[in-house]
Every structure is written in C-alpha cells, then in structure tokens.
Structure 1
Amino acid sequence: MPPQRTVLITGCSDGGLGASLALAFHAAGLKVYATARNPSKLSQCTSAGIETLTLDVLSSESIKSVIPKLPRLDILVNNAGATYVMPGSDVKIPDAKALFDLNLWSYLEMTQACLPLLLQSSYGGMIVNQTSVASVAVVPFSSVYAASKAAVAMLSDTLRLELGVLGIRVVELKTGMVRSNIINNQKDAKPPVLPEKSIYAPVKEIVERALSQDDINGTGMPTLDWGRAVVGDLLRKNPPPVIWRGENAWLARIGTVLPFGMLDGVVKKLTGLTAVEKYLKA
C-alpha cells in the first residue's frame, strides 16, 4: 500500500487561500503541513486537526529548519504572498523589491529546498505556484504586483519543462476574485496613500479610493469553495498545467486571446481610471 500522500502549503493564515487549500487537501485524505510565519494565525487549520509548522519563507534559516521535519513530500504549494497597490510613478523601489522577494524569490527558494523530497515521491512530485490572473490581466495601479506574478508564471512554465523530464509536475493557479484576506492584510500592513508630490495629487480622492479596493473587498468566490475546486483539479489523474478558478477568472482567460487592449475600457472603468482621465481632461 503506498504511503499517505503529503502536501506542504505556505501562507496558511486564517481566512486565506492557503488555509482553504489545507482544509480541502485534509478533507481529501492527504497529510497536510500548513505553514505560516505567525503560528497564532493558524487556528483554522489547527482546529481541523491539521499539522502546522512555523515558516517564514523570507528566511533561508527558517526554510532550512522546516525541511528536516518532513519525512516525505509529494506536493509543494507556494502560496504565501502579498499585494502592492500604487501607481507605477509613485512606487517605492525598496517596497517593490521586497514584494518580489516574497512573491517570486521565496517560491524559487522553497522549490529548491523541497526538490530532494519531491524527487523521491512515490506519486511523482508536484509543485503548485500561485500566479493569479494578475499575471495576465492588466490592472491599473497594480503594476508591481502584476509583474511579480507574471514573473512567477514564466518561472513556473520554464520549470514545467525543466523538472518535467524528472517526473515532477508544475502547476499554476490563475486565481480570480476570491473572498480572501489579501486586501485587508495589505491595508493593515501599509495603507495605500499617495505621496504628497504624486502626479495624481489633483485626483487624490479618486485614486486613493481605487487603491483602497473597498469596492471589490469581500466580493468574489467563497474561499472554501475555491479551495475545494482547486484541490479537486490538482488531485485528478492528469491535472492541468494551469488552473483557472475564482470569480472572473474566465474573463482573464478570454482576455489572453483577444486583440491587444480589447478589455482596456472595461478595466479602466472598474478601477476608477476612467474617472481620473475625465477629471484631468476637464
């Protein structure tokens, strides 16, 4: 009888996408290692009987300390991440670099650290990367976040070929709108406020409303429903290399084959950029 299939998931704080994946994998009978930087935020997984580990994916030492605690590993889910909403003209480069450290380089470091275990998997190892529809959809004021996700998408696609010859699958999660905590987490960490000398200062109120994302916060596919759907896809005999789940993920997918800029008008209206343009041209 083959051993129980195992999965390690990063970024499993309560109410987030990682926690929903952990719960869904657990319900499907897998041995789950749910991780987060702050163990006090893992109560949702702990109460379900899921084993939790403290892991800071930005710390090489933390990563090295966790790997020996895994007797084996079949699936790695790189999910930990953050967003950054700010006009490109006002982005602070240190903040942008920090976002790439989390959203891109931690994925590669976790992949490298887990590869020896994944290569020994009885089921064939699998790496799952959270790339988001932001990797293909143009969303004003999210240039750095989208760039980090696009970078993960290309990394994933390249690793799919490089590691595929070794029997390891690489899968992307092109996630649309889900009722997760990512917007609130970003606002709690650093509320998006335009700098005083921003070129958008004349329309500060309009832009900051867009940056707050209050109009979309709390909307989207229920988190637990998203987790169950994604895990169902991942546990298929032949899981797809790209999984599109979440509200409006289908629209982003269609957008990848439409003529360039076809959805610009819709996106500008949804993000308040149309109102900005109208005011500045008045």
Structure 2
Amino acid sequence: MFSPSHEKAYIVVVSRGNAMSRTVLITGCSDGGLGAGLAMAFHQHGDRVFATARNPSKMVSLQALGIETLTLDVISEDSIKACVQEISALTGGSLNMLINNAGAAYFMPILDTPIHELESLFDTNTYSIVRTAQHFFPLLRNSQHGGHLVNNTSLAASWPLPWYGPYSASKAAASSITSNLRYELEPFGIKVTELKTGIVQSNVYANLAADEGNVLPDSSVYALLKDKIGAVMRGEHGLTPQPTDQWARAVVNDLSRRNPPVEIWRGATASIFWVTVTFLPRVAVGFILKRSAGLDVFAKRLREQEESKKNE
C-alpha cells in the first residue's frame, strides 16, 4: 500500500523563523499524519510554517511546539477563501510555498466501487489541489523570490495498481494536473514539484483497519480473492514503513535546494518503484503488479470454480 495523506482539511501553524525563512503552508496536518511531520520538519528548519487541518483540536502536537493554528477545509471554497485572507494578513499578502498534502484513502475493485465514493475521493485528492492553487495563486505570485507549489500525490499515481483503483486514479489525475500547473505557472516564476510518497508511517493505516464498513461486498465478482483484497483494503501490505520524521526531513532538504526537483520520490519502496516503472518494459511491470495483487491466484480459482460448475 502507498501511504496517502488522508486529511480532508487542514489548520494553520506558524513558527517564527529567521529573516531569511520561508512562509510555508501545509494542508492535512492532523496529529500522526504526514502533514504534521512536514510541519515539524519545516519548523525545525527555521521556516515560518502554516500547518493546516479541518479540526484544530487534532493539532495538539504542533500547538505544543508553539505553532499557531488556523482552520481550513480543502473541499470548501468558503473555507479556502477565508484562509487565504488570514494568511494574507499574517504575511503581508504573500506566500513562499503551498504544500497540498491533504487527501483521503479508499481501496476497492473498480467494479465494486460506489460512484459516490469515487466522487468523494476525487473531491478530496484531486479537485482540492485545483481549489487551493486557484485561490492561493495571488499570494504565491507575490512571493519575493518566486512561489513554490508542492502537491503530495503517491507512488500509486505512477501505475494502475489492482485493488487500489479509485485511489490510484484520483492520484494519477492529481499528478496530471500537477504537470500541467508546472508549465502554466512557470511564466509567473512559480515552481511546481510533485511529491511521490511511498510507504511512510501514518495513522491512515489504523484508520483503514478500524473502518468496519471497508470490506469487499459478498456479492463481488472477486469474492474468490476476498482474503487478499481484504488485506489490501485494511492496509496490510507486509512492508516496513519509513518513520515519518525521517521522510519529512528528507523532503524538506529536497525542497530547500536552490533548484528543487520537479519530482521527489521518498518513502519506503519509492526508489525501487521508480526504477521499476522507469526502466522495466511495461509488460514486465504489469506482470509483477498482477502477481503481487494475486490476480494469477484469482484466475486459477475462477477456472476451478467454473470447471466445478460444469461437472455438477
């Protein structure tokens, strides 16, 4: 599983850095998430951080560091507009960096995915980055040394992963939008970076495991592989996540370069995944992904079931 940041909104956090520090706004910063990790890392770096989440009461760890918090819901136009006004008042009308980290996770075979779940996922993972880019653009443009837009997508954005379909599609769309924004914002001196996150410690796994409604329907045509798909839906990938603080420090270092990269691959399995999708033939990657998803096992079970029915 690829660790998404899953908050649907964010709260603003401010830390007092030195005169050369950046102003950095991060969405999806509830305690235990990737956004909170980034907020702490930027704060330690000496930047003035605006870390955000829908519910301020979930920002205790950041507040304990003396970081000021504001409320923002990334799926609400009104909430975003209000946050823009607050940030503008705090910074004098500019913002150096906007990090779209807020997101949601939902894993299910496409044939079993309710349309309303897909719409909700795209609203949070895809449309939200368009909303924030549109409304924060004036502040980024006013940045003295050029603004920087960072969108946290996922390794799942780089390849269609079986059983991750809804999530993978929403992140792939976010990746495409990010690439378009990179070209369209360049004339304004605004850099755009896509953060492709691998497996990182996050409360998203606990949330998936605790969601009793997150199960494969008994009527699913993939019921023969319910054991495997169920494990995916619960976030049981059998891999060791990278500690959040290590991941966050690496990302901050990447974004602090004089010429930051257009893509940042960080988190457990990120390097391996990059090599795989970059250098292996498409058919080879597809074979690997189908095997890892258990589709070969499913095909065998399906054939056996059909043969059994013929012999009845």
TM-score class normalised by the smaller sequence: over 0.9
> Residue 134 of structure 2 is aligned with which of 82, 91, 112?
112
> Residue 278 of structure 1 is aligned with which of 291, 294, 300?
300
> Residue 223 of structure 1 is aligned with which of 227, 244, 260?
244
Question: Are the structure 2 counterparts of residues 102 and 16 from structure 1 closer, same or farther at C-alpha, using a change threshold of 3 Å?
Answer: same
Offset at 1:267? 2.6
Name the Cα RMSD after superposition: 1.8
What SS does the aligned partner of 2:128 have? helix
What SS does the aligned partner of 1:196 have? coil
2:101 aligned partner: 79
2:30 aligned partner: 13
> Residue 44 of structure 1 is aligned with which of 31, 42, 61?
61
2:258 aligned partner: 237
Question: Are the structure 2 counterparts of residues 61 and 187 from structure 1 closer, same or farther at C-alpha, using a change threshold of 3 Å?
Answer: farther
2:197 aligned partner: 175
Give % identity.
Answer: 46
Asked whether the 8 Å contact 1:83–1:183 carries over to 2, the reply is: no
Q: Are 1:56 and 2:73 matched, yes or no?
A: yes
Matched ranges for 1:1-282 at <5 A: 4-70=21-87, 71=91, 72-188=94-210, 191-216=213-238, 219-254=240-275, 255-282=277-304
Question: Counterparts of 2:135 and 2:95 in 1: how far apart (Å)?
Answer: 11
Offset at 1:92? 0.6
Question: Are the structure 2 counterparts of residues 191 and 261 from structure 1 closer, same or farther at C-alpha, using a change threshold of 3 Å?
Answer: farther
Offset at 1:22? 0.5
For 1:195, give the aligned amino acid.
P
Superposed CA offset, 1:94-149 (max 9, x none): 10011000001011100111111111101210000011111113321011111111
Consecutive unaligned residues in structure 1, runs of 5 or more = none
Offset at 1:216? 3.7
The structure having more radius of gyration, on CA atoms, is 2
For 1:95, give the aligned amino acid.
E
TM-score between both structures, scaled by the size of structure 2: 0.85
What SS does the aligned partner of 2:149 have? strand
Question: Counterparts of 1:239 and 1:148 in 2: how far apart (Å)?
Answer: 25
Consecutive unaligned residues in structure 2, runs of 5 or more = 1-17, 305-312
Q: How many residues align structurally?
A: 281
For 1:44, give the aligned amino acid.
S
Offset at 1:184? 2.5
* 190-199 vs 64-73, which moves further: 190-199
Which stretches of structure 1, 4 residues or more, deviate above 6 A after TM superposition? none
Question: Counterparts of 2:125 and 2:211 in 1: how far apart (Å)?
Answer: 16
Question: Are the structure 2 counterparts of residues 242 and 261 from structure 1 closer, same or farther at C-alpha, using a change threshold of 3 Å?
Answer: same
Question: Counterparts of 1:83 and 1:149 in 2: how far apart (Å)?
Answer: 10
Question: Are the structure 2 counterparts of residues 162 and 192 from structure 1 closer, same or farther at C-alpha, using a change threshold of 3 Å?
Answer: same
For 2:117, give the aligned amino acid.
D
